[in-house]
Amino acid sequence: MRDLLHCRRGSVAFATVVALVPLIGAVALGAEAGSWYVTKQHAQNAADAAAYSGGLWLACSLSPTACTADPQSMDYRGKQFASQNAFCNTGDGTAYPGRRCVTLASNVTQSVTIALQGTDAVKATVSQTQPAYLAHLLGLSSVTIGATATAQVKILANPCVLTLSDPLAFQGSTTVQAQKCGLSSNSTQSNSLNFTGNGLDVSKAGAISGQGDCHDNGGGQCSKAITFAPPVPDPLSGLNAAMSTLSTGSFSGPCGTTLTAYDATHKCYNDMGNGANKFKFGNQTYNLNGVYFFNGPVTIGGGTTLKTLPGSSTTLILLPGATLTINGGPVIQISASSTVVSTQVPAALASVVNLMSQLLIYDPEKTNKNQSVSLTGNSANYFNGIAYFPNADVVYQGSTQSYTCVEVIAKGITLSGNSNFDNSGCPASGKIQSQIVRLVQ
């Protein structure tokens, strides 16, 4: 008996069992807390998706001309994307597209709320309330696991320079004045915004954004750029389908040897090709007033002066297949019309005359990498209006004069020299809408 009382065999096992009780409890409590963490991550994903989708809805409502109106509400879109991440309001049986919500236990509830914050942000709050198990020992009968996210709509300065697919390049000692608007590139290339010159000054330009990345030669200009931004809608894209239907057959015939604007009595086009009775620019001054259509290779060379006189207006439209070359330093002082009416255009364009307000030049020609259209302004030359080259690369050196509607939209643009841009006086149909949605919380 004495030996039995003094035997130490099994004492370690007993101590181990005693120690394991709180250890197992701690591990189990940790596992429960771990499940809360996983639920928290899922809730955050749902909140992020809900806030961002609500932000996209808000962006569209703030800029209705840039996107198609959404038939659903902001609240619907937010809750739709939360449901796609397995979070739904308890009792909400709405059949959201892509819904992944599951039937929860009777003692588990979920909540999703979408709320406007100010005028430019959307906040999503997601939570799940569930019973506590081992945590009940700590006085918790239930636990609410939640997450919030806020998406802000940032409206960029309306770009007055936009490239549709090629980079926006800054070349030479370029100085850009664009305090009331910005510069944007829809190129997705690594040099979507390409600063290659020395002595560049874009300090007086609004927001500079590119769908791709930015490249510079060490001048630090990329620090001002917003890269990997969403694409900027082309406000004049509606012109292209109607313009593409034009041909010489859309007119009564060539205008003859005199430059002639289209109207109810002169339904003709100016033919710049070779041959008899075909118009060509000569070494003289042309006072412009109206809408002019051109066929063939259009060359405006040295010795030519194009002027829009006070009280007059100018729109130059090249027919499909026509080309534009400006060389030799001609004098060009042209201003677009604030209003174009249906009697100034062929019937095929009657439905898009609203897009021709302040349209100065429309040129559908295609250029390759070795070609470009050069628009050169200075103290004597100016292009007052919207220059639209949807398929061409343009080298643009604008006027040093200031006008309230100077905008350039082209496949690609190289800015060279000094340019003044301002679209505050452009019609809403021609203004470029640009904004981004970003999660800020």
Confidence of residue 157 (pLDDT cuts 50, 70, 90): low
pLDDT the model gives residue 24: 46
- pLDDT score of 7 more than 70: no
* More confident call, 21 vs 411: 411
Q: Would you put residue 306 in left (φ > 0), alpha (ψ -120 to 50) or beta?
A: beta
- pLDDT score of 107 more than 50: yes
Q: How far is it, in rounded angstroms, from Cα 235 to Cα 367?
A: 21
| Tens-digit pLDDT profile for residues 372-423 | 788 887 778 899 999 999 999 999 988 778 889 999 999 999 998 888 899 8
* More confident call, 405 vs 198: 405
Q: How far is it, in rounded angstroms, from Cα 165 to Cα 162?
A: 9
pLDDT the model gives residue 135: 52
- pLDDT score of 243 more than 60: yes
Domain ranges of the chain: 2-155, 159-439
Q: Model-level pTM? A: 0.74
pLDDT the model gives residue 370: 62
**160 near 179, Cβ under 8 Å?**
no
Instruction: Tell me whether strands 290-295 and 208-210 are parallel, antiparallel or unpaired.
Output: unpaired
- pLDDT score of 235 more than 80: yes
Question: Which of helix, strand or coil describes residue 184?
Answer: strand
Nearest to 48 by CA among 147, 171, 195: 147
- For 389-429, give the secondary structure using H, E and C: EEEEEEEEECCCCCCCCEEEEEEEEEEEEEEECECCCCCHH
Confidence of residue 207 (pLDDT cuts 50, 70, 90): confident
pLDDT the model gives residue 9: 57
Q: How far is it, in rounded angstroms, from Cα 40 to Cα 35?
A: 8
| Tens-digit pLDDT profile for residues 270-290 | 998 766 678 889 899 999 999
Q: How far is it, in rounded angstroms, from Cα 242 to Cα 73?
A: 34
Beta strands in 102-236 (DSSP E): 109-117, 121-131, 142-155, 159-163, 168-178, 182-185, 193-195, 201-205, 208-210, 214-216, 225-226
- The sign one gets for the Cα dihedral 222, 223, 228, 229 is negative
pLDDT over 90 percentage in the chain: 51
* More confident call, 68 vs 250: 250
Give the chain's mean pLDDT.
86
Window from 98-102, 164-168, 406-410, 429-433 with minimum mean pLDDT: 429-433
**300 near 251, Cβ under 8 Å?**
no
Nearest to 232 by CA among 11, 417, 51, 409: 409
pLDDT the model gives residue 20: 42
pLDDT the model gives residue 133: 61
* More confident call, 303 vs 155: 303
